[in-house]
Amino acid sequence: MNDDRNPTATATLSNVGARPTVRFERDLTDPPPTVWRALIDPEDLKAWFPSEIMTERWEVGAQLTFVFPDNPQFTMTGTVLEFDEPRLLVYTWGEDTLRFELTPTESGGTRLVLINELSPGVAARTAAGWQLCLERLAGVIPPRDAWRPLFQQYTAAFEPELGPQQGPPAGFEDRA
């Protein structure tokens, strides 16, 4: 998938609800059904999502298991909250809630909006991670060491509003 508009779109922070959110907006050249497959197909997810997602079915109420093959101790669970193919997918991811909104563009592509509701102390590391994941979704392979400068950028931007930011969990330092 390609992102013609802004391959390094950054997150915006909102701290008005019960928990803060980071939001990304990307224009992709692929149509919504193709982007939708990238959100739910196990093989397509491997190209960009940070974990494997296991489920028997994709529908509201379905249970999800998120497995990090190199770090199985971080396995998490979730539940599908909303499912409107190919427009909206919302599920819990551990303690976070992920919302994927897909809208067709005039050019035949897709505007993807990702909103991650999360704990305040992990907003910077999460934003840095999603920025790199979305680059992969758009077909851009970021440099291996790209996470740290992004984390530092988001830490500087988010700390004044959210307080201290946590780095990667133990076991993920080498991947960061």
3-class DSSP state of 141? coil
* pLDDT value for 71: 85
Contact indicator for 140, 7 with CB cutoff of 8 Å: yes
User: Cβ contacts of residue 28 below 8 Å, gap of 6+?
Assistant: 1, 2, 3, 35, 109, 110, 111, 112, 137, 138
Separation CA 53–CA 30 (nearest Å): 22
Separation CA 20–CA 12 (nearest Å): 10
Contact indicator for 34, 47 with CB cutoff of 8 Å: no
DSSP classification of residue 59 = S
Judging by DSSP bridges, how do beta strands 21-28 and 52-54 pair with one another? Answer: unpaired
Separation CA 133–CA 50 (nearest Å): 7
* pLDDT value for 72: 86
* pLDDT value for 3: 40
Q: What is the pLDDT of residues 11-40, one digit of tens each?
A: 999 998 899 999 999 999 999 999 999 999
Q: What is the pLDDT of residues 33-59, one digit of tens each?
A: 999 999 999 999 999 999 999 999 999
* pLDDT value for 17: 86
The structure tokens 């992102």 sit at 3
Residue 38 structure tokens: 């990238």
How many C-beta atoms lie closer than 10 Å to residue 3's C-beta? 21
How many DSSP H helices and E strands does the chain contain? Answer: 4, 8
How many C-beta atoms lie closer than 10 Å to residue 104's C-beta? 15
Residues of the chain predicted below pLDDT 70: 1-9, 171-176
Structural domains in the chain plus CATH codes: 12-162 (3.30.530.20)
- What is the gyration radius of the CA atoms in the chain, in angstroms? 15
* pLDDT value for 107: 95
